[in-house]
Amino acid sequence: MSPEHDVVVEFFSPTCIYCIRFEPIWKEVAGHFKDEDSILITRIDASRPDGNIPDIEITGVPTVIIFPAAAKDRPLVYTDQRSASLIVEWILEKAHLPVEVHISYKSEPIPSSPKNGNVIEVVGLNWKSVVLNPDKDVFVNFYAPWCPYSNMLQPTWSQLEQRLRSVPTITIAQFDGTANEVPGLHLHAFPTMTLYRAGNNEQRPYRGNQRTVEAFIEFLQKETLREWTDPETGVTNSHVEHVEKDHAVDVPELNDDNYLQTIQDKDKNVVVLFYAPWCEHSQELFSTWEEIYMDYRSIRTVSVVQIDATKYKSPQISIYPTIKIFPASNLPKDTEGITFKGKETTARNIKEFIQTNAVRPSVEIKIQEAHLEASKKGLPPPTENELEAQHGIDFPEIDYSSGQSLLYRQKTDL
């Protein structure tokens, strides 16, 4: 790297959809520094053989790293949101620029005492010191004083703080989103609860339906990075993680030897995840993909599998991750398959994709999903009448001797 300039590099891959989406953000960042002679903004294709830098390991793309001009200073990896304003602020803070930097925040004064019990009140001026603390998992309630739902949550948030007050690695905080602003923070609803993970400030939004202390505790046990023990129950979050790992799911892995044979099975609707091991978004999808596999593994006509598309020749994939379904067919199958084009790779969206494109087992899938839904609620399996009335399942073949459709009897006897 240049001994005269601080160099900020985006490591990317032209086949990564998230790199493609990040490109206009990176152009905006570069435009901010176009007249600054002491800093260089550039890109390196990490997928090329010559895209590697000694002693720098790139585990996912896009990755932004600043290489200081001073040889004694180590390279720094950007770990915050992919926001142009936040990246610019980070560069201004870390680079050796011969200019005085002024970052403007809309902020209330730093409060001398909490507003809600002992919950830490975050404002624009203390945002970095509290929320972006590398040693803490910080759970923030973004609220609006005029919002009735925000006001209803206040006692629960105070109780959560009280329960976890003795846990040194967790901070329970709140932020008035109407009176304070920080670069890159965009609030669209109140209240919004977000966990900022220790070490890298990675955000984990709370999306649960229940806003109770127990629901928040369960969320924190799954999502926090630092080990801690719930003072009330004695459960350690590392134990929760250990249990999850003990029950890890092995999704069938394809390779060049069995890929074509698998997708061309005329009796199977084959759903394939094409991933790249170095792609962080592929990695994020694995847990959802395991859920999909578990939900459909007992359905004889649906096969959920995955393949490292960077390691094997079949097929040619340009964007990672990619999901395709190869519907069951008595005719020779199209090896292109049908590609999932949803904006979000949630379990619900992927299931809808399977339901829409699977050729023959649509009734079977609906029955399986109805059984799973009942099981999760602790209810007995639904009857045929319930399946017809509540789930819109049509049973065309009737076995009058038993009063039950042949199709239902066959599909549930897996």
- Of 80-84, 120-124, 184-188, 328-332, which one has max mean pLDDT? 120-124
Choose between 114 and 397: higher pLDDT. Answer: 114
* Prior bond of 315 cis (ω within 30°): yes
* Range of lowest pLDDT (202-206, 238-242, 373-377): 238-242
pLDDT-derived band at 249 (thresholds 50, 70, 90) equals low
H or E element at residue 223: helix 213-223
Burial class (CB in 10 A: 0-12, 13-18, 19+), 250: exposed
SS (H, E, C) 252-286: CECCCCCHHHHHCCCCCEEEEEEECCCCHHHHHHH
Name the residue among 195, 112, 187, 162 with its Cα closest to residue 154: 162
Q: Considering the domain boundaries, does residue 216 fall inside one?
A: yes
Q: Which two tokens stand for residue 401?
A: 């001797």
Q: Considering the domain boundaries, does residue 109 fall inside one?
A: no
- Residue 117 carries which side chain, given as an amino acid letter? G
Average pLDDT, the chain: 79
Residues 401 and 388 placed together within one structural domain of the fold: yes
Is residue 162's pLDDT more than 90?
yes
Quote the pLDDT of residue 103.
45
Name the residue among 264, 260, 163 with its Cα closest to residue 217: 163
pLDDT-derived band at 245 (thresholds 50, 70, 90) equals very low
Host domain of residue 379: 365-412
Residues 341 and 374 placed together within one structural domain of the fold: no
Q: Considering the domain boundaries, does residue 48 fall inside one?
A: yes
Quote the pLDDT of residue 49.
76
Q: Considering the domain boundaries, does residue 112 fall inside one?
A: no
Q: Which two tokens stand for residue 98?
A: 């011969």
Is residue 216's pLDDT more than 90?
yes
Residues 75 and 51 placed together within one structural domain of the fold: yes
**Region 173-186 average pLDDT:** 86
* Range of lowest pLDDT (235-244, 257-266, 328-337, 400-409): 400-409
* Range of lowest pLDDT (103-107, 135-139, 140-144): 103-107
Is residue 137's pLDDT more than 90?
yes
Quote the pLDDT of residue 169.
92
Q: Considering the domain boundaries, does residue 337 fall inside one?
A: yes
Name the residue among 201, 80, 192, 182 with its Cα closest to residue 136: 201
Total Cβ atoms within 10 A of residue 294: 14
Is residue 161's pLDDT more than 90?
yes
Q: Considering the domain boundaries, does residue 35 fall inside one?
A: yes
| Model pLDDT for residues 350-402, shown as the tens digit of each residue | 998 998 888 754 555 566 677 777 777 777 777 767 766 666 655 444 332 33
* Antiparallel, parallel or unpaired: β 39-45 and 6-12: parallel
* Range of lowest pLDDT (18-22, 104-108, 206-210): 104-108
Distance CA 268, CA 241 (A): 34
Is residue 101's pLDDT more than 60?
no
Angle (deg, nearest 10), helices 148-163 and 213-223: 60
pLDDT-derived band at 244 (thresholds 50, 70, 90) equals very low
Q: What is the total residue count of the chain?
A: 414
Is residue 136's pLDDT more than 70?
yes
Distance CA 10, CA 154 (A): 41
Cα–Cα distances in angstroms (integers) from residue 141 to residues 131, 158, 189, 228, 281, in the given order: 11, 11, 11, 21, 26
Quote the pLDDT of residue 363.
56
211 and 153 Cβ atoms separated by less than 8 Å = yes
Expressed in angstroms, the distance from the first to the final Cα of the chain is: 61
Choose between 200 and 408: higher pLDDT. Answer: 200
Contacts of 61 (CB under 8 A, 6+ apart): 11, 12, 13, 16, 18, 19, 46, 47, 278, 279, 280
Quote the pLDDT of residue 70.
66
Residues 143 and 207 placed together within one structural domain of the fold: yes
Residues 34 and 60 placed together within one structural domain of the fold: yes
Residues 226 and 295 placed together within one structural domain of the fold: no
Residues 80 and 18 placed together within one structural domain of the fold: yes
Q: Considering the domain boundaries, does residue 253 fall inside one?
A: no
Distance CA 6, CA 49 (A): 24
* Range of lowest pLDDT (141-150, 186-195, 391-400): 391-400
Residues 237 and 278 placed together within one structural domain of the fold: no
- What's the CATH number where 137 sits? 3.40.30.10
SS3 12: strand
Quote the pLDDT of residue 185.
76
**Region 305-331 average pLDDT:** 82
- Of 110-114, 161-165, 237-241, which one has max mean pLDDT? 161-165
| Model pLDDT for residues 2-58, shown as the tens digit of each residue | 556 788 999 998 888 888 888 888 988 888 777 777 788 999 988 887 767 766 777
**How many domains, in total, are found in the chain?**
4
Distance CA 181, CA 27 (A): 24
